[in-house]
Structure 1
Amino acid sequence: MNDLTQLSNYLAHYPALVLVLTTALIFLVGLFAQILSDKTSLPAIIFLLIFGSALGKQGLNLINPDVYSPVGTRAIIAIAVAIVVFEGGLMIDFRHLRHNLISVIGLITANVLITIVGMAWVTHHLIGIEWRISLLYAGLVSVTGPTVIAPILRRIHVSQKVKTILETEAVLVDAVGVIAAISIFNYVISGASPGQGDSLIPIFRNVLLSLVLGALCGAACAWLAKKIVQIFSPLRGEVTRLLVLTITVSAYMLGELVSHESGIAAVAVAGMIIGNTEFPHKSSIKEFKGDLTLLSITVVFLLLSASLDLNLLWRIGLKGAICVLILMLVIRPMGVFLSTAFERINWRERVFIAWLGPRGIVAASAATFFALELDAYGIPGSGIIRGMVFMTVLITVIIEGSGARYMASLLDIAPSSVLIVGGGLIGKKLIDQLKDSQKDGIILIENDPKRIESLRHLENEGVYLISADARDEKIYREKLNNVQNITTLITTSEDDWLNLRVCQIVKKMKPEVHMLSVINDVKGREVFENLGIKTINLREAAATLIYVLMDAHLTSAPSPLKHVQ
C-alpha cells in the first residue's frame, strides 16, 4: 500500500508521465484484445469494451480518459473516427457498387428513416424515455459500423454483392446517421414537441444540406490530393501516405467548419474518390490506413468504455436489452426488406443483410458528444443516451458478430467458388488472372504466415484467405460448409502428397468438384489420375510452351527457300 502511495505521489509531480503510461497501457490492452479476437474469431470491439470497463474509472481506474482533458479526448476521438471512415471509403469499389446502388441508397435513406421512427416509438413506450430523447437515441443507432462490419466479413465467405452492400452501407450511413442525429439534437434544444409537424421539416432540410456540403468538401480535398501528386510527381511511398493522412484530417476539419458533423461525410467521399481513381502507391496506402484504423478503434473504444458509468446499464436493465433485440429482429429487417425491394437480391441474402447490422465507433463516440451537450444545455437524458447506445453496441456486436458465420452457413449464401491451395508464385499468378474474369468467388488456403501477410491486400479485392493447414478436414467443414459451394479445386503447393491429400478430402465431401493439381514429380501422376484429378507438371508445361512459341515463330517467318531461283 505504501508503495502505491509513493508511486501516486511521484506521478503527481510528472503529469506528462501519466499521459505516456496511460497511452502505453491503452496500446498494450488493445494489442491483447486484437490477439484474443484473432484466436476466438470474435470482433475485437467486444474485448475492448470489456477491458475498457474493467480498467476504467469505475473499475481499476488504470485507464482514466480525464488525463487527456475533455477537449483532448474529444479531439483524439474525432481524428480517430475520421481515419476509420476514410479507410472505409477507400475500400469501396465503384465497379461492384454500381450493380447494387439501389439497395445502398435505400439502406441509407428509407432504412435510416424507418430505424429512427421505429426505435423512437419503441424506446418511448417501452422504457418511458421522453420523446425528444428517444428520437436522439434512435438517430444515433441508425448507423451501422465499418469498424465491426469489415472484420466480420473478412472472417466469413459471402458473395461480392452482399459484401459490397454491407460495407458501403456501413460507411455512408455513418454520415447520414450522425448528421440526422445533430439535426435531431438541434430540434431537441429548440424545445419543439413531436406533435409539431412543421418543426420536423428543418431536420430533413439540414440533413440534406449537410450531406451535400460535406460531400463537396471531401471532393475538393480529394481533388487537391491528386493535384499535389501531379505537380510533385513522383512522390515516395512514405510521402504519399503522409499526404493521404493529411488530406483525411483536412477533409474532416473543412467539413466541420462548413457545417457541424459534415466532417464524416467529407472523409467518406474523399476516401471513395481516392480509392476509385488513379493514385500512386494505392496498395501501400490501404495497408497503412488499415493499420491506423486498427489503432484508432483500439484507442476510441478503450477511452469511451473506460469513462462509461456501468450503473447506467444496470438501471436500464432488461427493458433496454429488449429494445435492442427489437431493433435487431424487427426494425432492421423491416428497413432492409423495404429498402432492397427493387433490387435483384434473393431472400437468403436479404435475411443475412438484415441480420448483420452491428453498431460501432461512430454511434458510441457521437453518444458521448451528445451526452455532454445535453448536460451543457441542462436537458435531462444524457445518462440514458450513453447507456442505451453502449448497450446497443455491446449487444449487437456480441450477438450479430459472433453469429454471422453461423447465419451465413445456415442461409447458404456463399457464392460458387474456385478453391486454390498454396499461395506461392503459381497461386498468386492464378489469383491475379482469375479475380478480374472470375464471376464466382476465389478462396485461398495457405499455411505460411509470411505468405498470408503478403496476400492480405487481396481481401479487399474479394479473395477469401484462410490461414490453415490444408490437410485439416475441420477447415472444410467449419469454414467452407463441407465445400458445397466449391466448383473447382486447384492445388499448387510444392508438396505433391499435400496436394493429393487435399484432393482426397474434397473429393470425399463433394465428388463432382473439378480438380486440377500441380505435380512436382511426374512419377506420381498415375496416383492422381486414378482419382480423376487432372495434373500439370511445370517442366513439361514449360517445354510444351517453348515448342508452341518456336513453332509459331517458324510458321510466321519467311521461308529461306523462296529466294532460291
Structure 2
Amino acid sequence: MDPVTTFALIGLVGIGSQWLAWRFQLPAIVLMLAAGLVVGPATGLLVPQATFGELFKPIIAVAVAVILFEGGLTLNFKSLKDAGPSVTRLVVIGAPLGWLMSTLAIRYGAGLSWESSIVFGGIMIVTGPTVITPLLRQARLQSRPARILKWEAIVNDPIGALAAVLAFEVFLALYGSLTLAGAIWHLVQGITLATVLGFAGGWVIAWAFRRGKVPEYMKVSVLFGAVLLIYAASDYVLHESGLLAVTLMGIYLANTHLPSLDEIRRFKEHATIILVSGVFVLLAASLTMADLQTLSLRTVLFVLVVVLIARPVTVLVSLIGTGLPWQEKAMIAWIGPRGVVLVAVSGLFGTQLVDLGVADGAQLTALAFALVAGTVVLHGFSMAPLARFLGLTAASKPGLLIVGGSRWSLNLAKALEKAEIPVLVVDRNWFRLRAVREAGIPTYHGEILSEAAEHSLDLAKYGAVLAATDNDGYNALVGTDFGPEFGRNNVFQIGRCEGAEGRQELPAQLGGRQFGPGTSYEDFARLVAEGWSFRTTRLSEEFGLEDYMAANPDAKIFGYVGEGGLRLVEGDNPPEVRPGIRIMALSKKREDRGQGAVA
C-alpha cells in the first residue's frame, strides 16, 4: 500500500473509531485498539514499518512530542493549588510512589528487566485524562471524587511523561558511556539542554505573543513550528532530549497566563485528537502475531497487580490524613484507567530501549495495550455500579445550568426542579440571586467564565447550558465559551433583540443555539409579569401533543423531559414526542381542566 493510501486509511480508522465511540457511548480507546489490530496483524492490510521504512520512528516521535507538549499546556500550577489538598497529595506523594509500585508490578508481574520496568513505570503514572472524563460523565459520580480523579489525571499527564523521559535519559547515559562519571555528565547535559531550550522557547513565544509580534491568525501555526523547532534542535544536539524540552516548554506556557492561550489550547486539543488517533492505530497495526503471542498469563498477572495492588496502595497512602470518607477513597483507589499517552510514549521508548540493547523493550507496546484495554474495560464497566453501591452517585439525570438570575429564570428553575431535573442558577450580581436562594434552588455567585468557577463547579452533572442574561453580547460569549465543552448542540441562549442594532448586531455564528422560539429577555419578563409561567405537562395515549396544543394554543414549547433527562428544543417546531414524555412550555395561567397531568 502506498504512503498516501496508508495515511488515508489511518485517518479513516482512527477518526472513525472516535466517532463510533461517541455515537454508541463506548470507550474510544478500545475501538481504536480493535480497529488497529484488525487492519494490522489480523488482516495485514496495514504494515506501518514496511510502508514508512526509516520514517516510521520519526513520525511516532514527532507525534509524541506534540502530544506531550499539549499535556504540558494543561499543567497550571495555580490550578493545582486550587484543585485541593487531595490532588496535591496524589501528585506530590502519589506520583513517585506510583512510579515505584508500577515498576515493581512490571518487574515481578510481567517479568521485564529493571531498565524496561523503570521507564514503563514512569509513564504509568498517567491515568489517562482523555479516558477518565467520559467515564466520569457516564457514571455520574459525585462532585468531589469526580473532581479529584479529573485533576489527578490532568496534572499527572505531563509528570508521568517527564518521569519516563528522565528514566530513559538515565539509561541512555549509562549505556552510551563507558564510565559512571561519563554517564552522569551525559545525563546532566541532557537535562540542562532540554530545560534551557524548553524554557527559552516558551519565553520567546510568550514575549512575541504579548508584544503583538505575531498576528492572531498565525499564533497556532507559529506555536506548532516552535514546538517542532525546539524538539528537533534539542534532539540534534543531544539524542532523545527533545521530548523533555517540549514538555517543559508546554508547562512554561501554561503558567504565563497568555490571553490567547485558551484558544491555542483548544486547537492543540483538536490536533492532539488527530495525532492520538493516528499514533494509536499505527502502533496497534505495527504489532505482529509474535508480539501478541508474548501476551500470556504473566500479562494478566501484571494487569491484576496494577489494578488490585499498585493503584490502591498508591492512592490510599497518598490520601492518609485528608479527611475523605472511606467510600470516596475506595472509589479513587479503584479507578485508574490508562490512556493513549501511555501507549504512545511506551511505543516510542520501547524501540529506543531495543536499540540500546534492552531486548525486552520490544514488549512494552504490547503490555501497554494490554494494560489500557484491561483498565478501561474493568473500570468502565464497574465505575457506575460501584458508585451506586458506595452511595457516590450524583443526580441520575443531566441538569441545566442557567446563566442569569431573573424572575422568569427562577420560574423556569422551579419547573425543572418539580420535574426532578438538577438546575443551577449563576449570576455575578448577588442581589439578582436573592429570590432564587430564598426558593431553595442551588446558585453560584460569581463569573461563570472565570477559572474559579471552572475549578469549583461540578459541570459534569449538567448536560446543557442556557445563557439567559439581559445582555445579548454576554450571552453569546457564554455560548461560544461553553460550546467546546458541552457540545454546540447543548448550549442555548435566549432570543436576541433583532434589529435593535442593525449592522452592529453580533454575528449569528457566535453564541449558542436559539432557546425555543427565540423569546427575548424583555418578552420573557413581560410574559411572566402578565401571569405566564413554565410548566411541565405529561403526555399520554389519551392526551397527546395535538391535544395539548389545542388546550394551550398560546403555549411556547421550550423542551421536554424524557428518560434521558431534559432536552431543549430550537425554534418553534414541535418536538417528536411519545406517551410518557413531559412537555416543558411557557403558557398562560389556566384553571386545571383535568386535561393532562401537570408534573
Q: With structure 1 as the length reference, what TM-score do the two structures score?
A: 0.67
Q: Which residue of 2 aligns with 1:226?
A: 206
Q: Which residue of 1 aligns with 2:314?
A: 335
Q: Which residue of 1 aligns with 2:329?
A: 350
Q: Deviation at 1:55?
A: 0.5
Secondary structure, aligned partner of 1:420: strand
Residues 464, 486 of structure 2: 8 Å contact kept:
no
Q: Which residue of 2 aligns with 1:445?
A: 463
Residues 146, 360 of structure 1: 8 Å contact kept:
yes
Q: Which stretch has the larger CA shift, 90-99 or 241-250?
A: 90-99
Residues 120, 135 of structure 1: 8 Å contact kept:
yes
Q: In structure 1, what residue type is equivalent to 2:249?
A: A
Q: In structure 2, what residue type is equivalent to 1:218?
A: G
Residue 176 of structure 1: which of 163, 166, 178 is its match? 163
Q: In structure 2, what residue type is equivalent to 1:458?
A: F
Secondary structure, aligned partner of 1:316: coil
Residues 493, 499 of structure 1: 8 Å contact kept:
no
Residue 31 of structure 1: which of 7, 12, 15 is its match? 15
CA, structure 1 residues 121+505, in 2 after alignment: closer, same or farther (shift >3 Å)?
closer
Residues 235, 242 of structure 2: 8 Å contact kept:
yes
Q: How many residues align?
A: 471
After superposition, where does 1:292-311 map in structure 2 within 5 Å? Answer: 292-311=271-290
Residues 303, 371 of structure 2: 8 Å contact kept:
yes
Q: Which stretch has the larger CA shift, 164-173 or 326-335?
A: 164-173
Q: Which residue of 2 aligns with 1:392?
A: 371
Answering whether residue 593 of structure 2 is matched by residue 523 of structure 1, we say no
Q: Please list the CA deviations of residues 76-127 of structure 1 after superposition, one character each: whole Å capped at 9, or x if unmatched.
A: 2222222223333334454431134765565456434434443444444455
Q: Which residue of 2 aligns with 1:537?
A: none
Q: Please list the CA deviations of residues 103-158 of structure 1 after superposition, one character each: whole Å capped at 9, or x if unmatched.
A: 55654564344344434444444554444444444345344334434554565554
Residue 75 of structure 1: which of 48, 58, 72 is its match? 58
Secondary structure, aligned partner of 2:42: coil
Whole-Å Cα distance in 2 between the matches of residues 341 and 171 of structure 1?
24
Secondary structure, aligned partner of 1:232: coil
Whole-Å Cα distance in 1 between the matches of residues 248 and 425 of structure 2?
32
Answering whether residue 215 of structure 2 is matched by residue 235 of structure 1, we say yes
Residue 274 of structure 1: which of 241, 250, 253 is its match? 253
Q: In structure 1, what residue type is equivalent to 2:288?
A: D
Whole-Å Cα distance in 2 between the matches of residues 103 and 173 of structure 1?
18
Answering whether residue 6 of structure 2 is matched by residue 22 of structure 1, we say yes
CA, structure 1 residues 162+411, in 2 after alignment: closer, same or farther (shift >3 Å)?
farther
Q: Which residue of 1 aligns with 2:509?
A: none
Secondary structure, aligned partner of 1:62: coil
Structure number with the higher helix fraction is: 1
Whole-Å Cα distance in 2 between the matches of residues 359 and 464 of structure 1?
24
Q: Percent same amino acid among aligned pairs? A: 24
Answering whether residue 365 of structure 2 is matched by residue 381 of structure 1, we say no
Q: With structure 2 as the length reference, what TM-score do the two structures score?
A: 0.64
Whole-Å Cα distance in 2 between the matches of residues 453 and 162 of structure 1?
29
Residues 132, 150 of structure 2: 8 Å contact kept:
no
Q: Which stretch has the larger CA shift, 241-250 or 92-101?
A: 92-101
Residues 14, 32 of structure 2: 8 Å contact kept:
yes
RMSD over aligned CA atoms reads 4.8
CA, structure 1 residues 349+275, in 2 after alignment: closer, same or farther (shift >3 Å)?
farther
Answering whether residue 293 of structure 2 is matched by residue 314 of structure 1, we say yes
Whole-Å Cα distance in 2 between the matches of residues 429 and 260 of structure 1?
52
Q: Deviation at 1:22?
A: 0.6
CA, structure 1 residues 376+93, in 2 after alignment: closer, same or farther (shift >3 Å)?
closer
CA, structure 1 residues 522+346, in 2 after alignment: closer, same or farther (shift >3 Å)?
same
Answering whether residue 478 of structure 2 is matched by residue 494 of structure 1, we say no
Residues 519, 525 of structure 1: 8 Å contact kept:
no
Q: In structure 2, what residue type is equivalent to 1:389?
A: A
Q: Which stretch has the larger CA shift, 101-110 or 170-179?
A: 101-110
Q: In structure 2, what residue type is equivalent to 1:385?
A: L
CA, structure 1 residues 149+421, in 2 after alignment: closer, same or farther (shift >3 Å)?
closer
Whole-Å Cα distance in 1 between the matches of residues 135 and 476 of structure 2?
18
Residues 154, 464 of structure 1: 8 Å contact kept:
no
Q: Deviation at 1:230?
A: 3.4
Whole-Å Cα distance in 2 between the matches of residues 328 and 126 of structure 1?
12
Secondary structure, aligned partner of 1:98: helix
Q: Deviation at 1:35?
A: 1.5
Q: In structure 2, what residue type is equivalent to 1:96?
A: S
Q: Which runs of 5+ in 1 are unaligned?
A: 1-10, 12-17, 193-198, 471-491, 509-516, 534-565
Q: Deviation at 1:241?
A: 1.7
* Higher RCO, Cα 8 Å, sep 6+: 1
Q: In structure 1, what residue type is equivalent to 2:13?
A: V
Residue 250 of structure 1: which of 207, 217, 229 is its match? 229
Residues 126, 153 of structure 2: 8 Å contact kept:
no
Whole-Å Cα distance in 1 between the matches of residues 25 and 375 of structure 2?
16
Q: Deviation at 1:326?
A: 0.9
Answering whether residue 45 of structure 2 is matched by residue 62 of structure 1, we say yes
Residue 144 of structure 1: which of 114, 120, 127 is its match? 127
Secondary structure, aligned partner of 1:359: coil
Q: Deviation at 1:227?
A: 1.7
Whole-Å Cα distance in 2 between the matches of residues 434 and 290 of structure 1?
22
Residues 535, 587 of structure 2: 8 Å contact kept:
no
Whole-Å Cα distance in 2 between the matches of residues 405 and 370 of structure 1?
35
